Amino acid sequence: MKKLLYITCNTKPEILSTSKSIGREFVASFLENNKDVEVNEFDLNDISLPKLHYKYFKERNSLVDTESYNALSLEERANVDRIIELSKEFKDADIYVLAVPMWSLMFPAPLKEYLDCIIQKDILIKIGPEKVEGLLDDKERTMVYIQSSGGSIPWLLERKINHGGTYIKDIFKFLGIKHFNEILVDNIGFTKEEHDKAVEKGKKEAKALGIKL
């Protein structure tokens, strides 16, 4: 059974969130056309993300060994366990759906905290003396990045303006995810007519992509 990890990052309920409503449209369409899929979904504002305290690492992206782990307090060990749990949960998935708003030309901070948390040595990455490489090329994986924004993003300037989308594409390509799909729902923040038009267009794109994948 394939696993779909659906991650949002907005404290608004789905009915008020453009990114969440478009994300839901994609997930519903995908599940309608792919029956044998297990879905795990959460909003990053609703789950516990451990702060990456130096005590949890023997070096960056490399968690403590058994001896150092046993020397930690019960709370600290629980945080290390949580980091491993989140990282393995991510690796187990086959399809990733990220639905987020654009904030300050980027995505909201909890998503970066989450990525820093899960990208750990010997789970998502391999660190050698001469290079670092991703470990997610062991099977076919697909990323769907859905982003809403108040203003318009001209495609000619996308890499200069859409830092969130370009970062997500680059980091997951590095990790080994071969297939990347992007739905940009922009120009939603001025009039109701513009908002409704953008949302409708985004939902159509999401439904079509859900059928295609």
Q: What is the pLDDT of residue 88?
A: 98
The residue range of the domain holding 74 is 2-212
3-state secondary structure the chain: CEEEEEEECCCCCHHHCHHHHHHHHHHHHHHHHCCCEEEEEEECCCCCCCCCCHHHEEECCEECCHHHHHCCCHHHHHHHHHHHHHHHHHHHCCEEEEEEECECCECCHHHHHHHHHHCCECCCEEECCCCEEECCCCCCCEEEEEEECCCCCCHHHHHHHCHHHHHHHHHHHHHCCCEEEEEEECCCCCCHHHHHHHHHHHHHHHHHHHHHC
Q: What is the pLDDT confidence band of residue 157, given thresholds at 50, 70 and 90?
A: very low
- Of 186 and 153, the structure prediction assigns the larger pLDDT to 186
Q: What is the pLDDT of residue 188?
A: 74
Question: How many domains is the chain built from?
Answer: 1
- Judged against a pLDDT cut of 70, whether residue 158 lies above it is answered with no
Q: What is the pLDDT of residue 201?
A: 92
Domain of 23, CATH number, reads 3.40.50.360
Q: What is the pLDDT confidence band of residue 152, given thresholds at 50, 70 and 90?
A: low
- Judged against a pLDDT cut of 70, whether residue 156 lies above it is answered with no
Q: What is the pLDDT of residue 162?
A: 73
Annotated binding site, which residues? 17-19, 148-151
- Judged against a pLDDT cut of 80, whether residue 184 lies above it is answered with yes
Of 11-15, 22-26, 51-55, 151-155, the poorest mean pLDDT is in: 151-155
What percent of the chain stands above pLDDT 90?
A: 77
Annotated binding site for FMN, which residues? 17-19, 148-151
- Judged against a pLDDT cut of 50, whether residue 82 lies above it is answered with yes
| pLDDT averaged over every residue in the chain | 92
Q: What is the pLDDT confidence band of residue 47, given thresholds at 50, 70 and 90?
A: very high
Across 195-213, average pLDDT: 90
Across 130-149, average pLDDT: 94
Q: What is the pLDDT of residue 142?
A: 97
Q: Flag whether the pTM goes above 0.85.
A: yes
